[in-house]
Amino acid sequence: MGKKKQEIILENIEITDVAAEGKAIAKVDGAVVFVQFAVPGDIVDIKVTKKKKNYMEGYILRIVKPSEHRLEPFCSHFGICGGCKWQPLPYEMQLKAKQQQVWDQLVRIGHLDIPEITPIVPSDETTFYRNKLEFTFSQRRWILDDEDAETLSDKEKLGLGFHVGRFFDKVLDIRKCWLQAEPSNQIRLFIKNYALDHSLTFFNIRDHVGFLRNMIIRTTQEGNVMLILCFYHEDAEARTALLDAVAAEFPQITSLYYVINGKANDSIADQECILYRGDEAIYETMEGLKFKIGPKSFYQTNTKQAYKLYSVAREYAALTGNETVYDLYTGTGTIAQFVSGKAAKVIGIEYVPEAIEDAKINAAGNKITNCDFYAGDMKDILTDEFVQRHGHPDVIILDPPRAGIHPDVAKVILNAAPDRMVYVSCNPASQARDLEILCQDYMITAVRPVDMFPHTHHVENVVALKRR
């Protein structure tokens, strides 16, 4: 028999700081220990789960003495659900940690030369700030510590909620989520109870059997609600009865869709969304502009903070009204249209053709005539010939996905040689890597983080660049 690993327990350890990815830090005998759900000032006993040469990872076995800063988590699912890990951390400390994260990625790790970071833009709302949530039906939900799986009936093992971190096939049944305003929780609980009462089967993620698969709720500031219910296979009678019951219970649902998704994953990007009742879209407004949101549309999930984020981007673009602006990764054209009033011309480029169709519809609806949108791969579209045809960009705004930009796209941008750039990012690590390439020809003139996701470690960051 192999030698059993010795269990390591660290006792009476003081948590000293907040680290990246939502963890906290302690120092023990010169080694750094990363711990989840801890707050600076906590004295804790830690069970070590990973031990490397100069760092360890572990979890709190016992809080010996709580920090004076520690808050009581407001959500009953805290610690099991993968979201909102920073609930015990006061909001001011969250903001400080996020600003530090940006500095660490750009300066300490990225070695970039930056001016002093402008203070992070806080979120006015730290709960119920999301306009979109997705919930998953599960035949075998996550069993809680105080439950005995042996004594639970098959019905009691059914769940509707969020995936538990690290387990693709485990779903935590959610009673109340603090991320999206009502009627979000009410709709989810009604559908779950209806399904239980009518013996509708929940999806088994491993075996790919079951009827109810997942659901998406989208809301607007005006109170419009879109519900998309996804089924693994068609059962017209059961589906119609459920959709009718939901529509009757929640007249505030203005767009009711369903999807029959029989493929391996939950994504509806390649699926047909069928309008069952109501309007084909819901609409969000921002500074007088109206944006159409369909079942597949991308829209920033924190509407109020999106306005602040775009305002920082527009400020950094320093437009006078005479510029040609290229908006790369334009999505449904929100930033492009948001800056169009202060530009001569805006060209939006995006990989997803459906998003570009939405962008064109939005621009037409907003009576914006100085925006043109093009779909395709950035490095293929942004050629010398394209620039000659549409005009040299005075300003380039880019808001790429988490992975950042491809090195080929960075070359294309450098080749286009705009006077100024604004780089909006949801991942300061990939942003720092890209900025290193762009800073061959540009200098960073301003940096400002924006908090879009309170109680998480995620942070958006806006960087202004000027040609050397």
* Cα angle for residues 319, 105, 443 (degrees, 5° grid): 40
Q: Are 34 and 55 in contact (CB under 8 A)?
A: yes
With 0-12 / 13-18 / 19 or more C-beta atoms within 10 angstroms meaning exposed / middle / buried, residue 423 is buried
376: left (phi over 0), alpha (psi -120 to 50) or beta: left
Per annotation, catalytic residue among 75, 81, 177, 426 = 426
Q: Are 88 and 37 in contact (CB under 8 A)?
A: yes
Residues 6+ apart with CB under 8 A from 455: 83, 84, 85, 86, 87, 89, 94, 126
439 given a catalytic annotation? no
Helices in 227-340 by DSSP H: which ranges? Answer: 236-249, 303-317, 334-340
Euclidean distance between the first and final Cα of the chain, in Å? 65
* Cα angle for residues 12, 14, 119 (degrees, 5° grid): 165
Question: What's the rounded Cα separation, in Å, for the pair 131 and 252?
Answer: 15
CB atoms closer than 10 angstroms to residue 264: 8
Q: Do you find a cis peptide bond into 418, omega within 30 degrees of 0?
A: no
CB atoms closer than 10 angstroms to residue 109: 14
Q: Are 358 and 283 in contact (CB under 8 A)?
A: no
Q: Give the catalytic positions in this structure.
A: 426
